[in-house]
Amino acid sequence: MTTLSEIQAPLKARYREEPEAAKVTLSASGQLGEGVSCSLSTGRAMAEAGLHPASGGDGTQLCSGDMLLEALVACAGVTLRAVATSLDINVRGGSVTAEGDLDFRGTLAVDKEVNVGFTDIRMTFDLETDATPDELATLQRLTERYCVVLQTITTPPRITATTVTS
């Protein structure tokens, strides 16, 4: 069986020699749907996002805030597994949870002093492992450091938005 280190070794070597080869553009797109909705292709299925019930949705569509937390959980979980593998820490199983607090007065323009977006996000790693406290601290620190979604949230990228018509 090929290990993760064996799979990543030639990639790491190439990226050291050719830094530009490591730069990849990911993309997502959606089609505006009926009412207040947007359909996304997830690569596996279509997902329809809409308003959260706290902002007028009926709860039948995905909330983009939930999707952000789900992306954070997925990325942190995969990163934790990769780091544990790299450090040879046996993690038999477990879960990753993210909770985020929103005040919908901001997004609904009820109070212009209230932030639009999450004010607090809490992550919990509940792991089945015999790792020592020091190993767990290292595992969490490196998971946080190398989780793309977490780093994007904590160190926001430059974002540009353009509107075009067709």
Q: What confidence tens digit (pLDDT) does each residue in 49-60 have?
A: 998 999 988 889
Q: Which residue has the tokens 């007028």?
A: 56
Whether the predicted pLDDT of 32 surpasses 90: no
Q: What is the DSSP letter of 18?
A: -
Whether the predicted pLDDT of 68 surpasses 90: yes
101 confidence band (pLDDT: 50, 70, 90): very high
What are the backbone dihedrals phi and psi of residue 3, each rounded to the nearest 5 degrees, phi first? -85, 165
pLDDT for res 1: 81
Whether the predicted pLDDT of 79 surpasses 90: yes
Q: Write the CB contacts of 165 (distance below 8 Å, at least 6 apart in sequence).
A: none
**Mean pLDDT value of segment 42-65:** 87
In angstroms and rounded to an integer, the radius of gyration of the C-alpha atoms of the chain is: 19
3-state SS class at 158: coil
User: Do 10 and 4 touch, CB atoms closer than 8 A?
Assistant: no
Q: How many CA atoms lie within 13 A of 84 on its CB side?
A: 21
Whether the predicted pLDDT of 34 surpasses 90: no
Cα 140 from Cα 148, distance rounded (Å): 14
Cα 70 from Cα 121, distance rounded (Å): 12
Amino acid at the residue 164: V
pLDDT for res 75: 95
Whether the predicted pLDDT of 159 surpasses 90: yes
Whether the predicted pLDDT of 30 surpasses 90: no
3-state SS class at 39: strand
pLDDT for res 42: 76
Q: What is the pTM of this model?
A: 0.86
pLDDT for res 35: 76
pLDDT for res 5: 85
Max Cα-Cα span within the chain: 58
3-state SS class at 102: strand
Q: What is the DSSP letter of 55?
A: G
Higher-confidence residue of 127 and 42: namely 127
What residues does each domain of the chain span? 63-154
Higher-confidence residue of 62 and 141: namely 141
* Class in CATH terms, 63-154: alpha beta
Amino acid at the residue 90: N
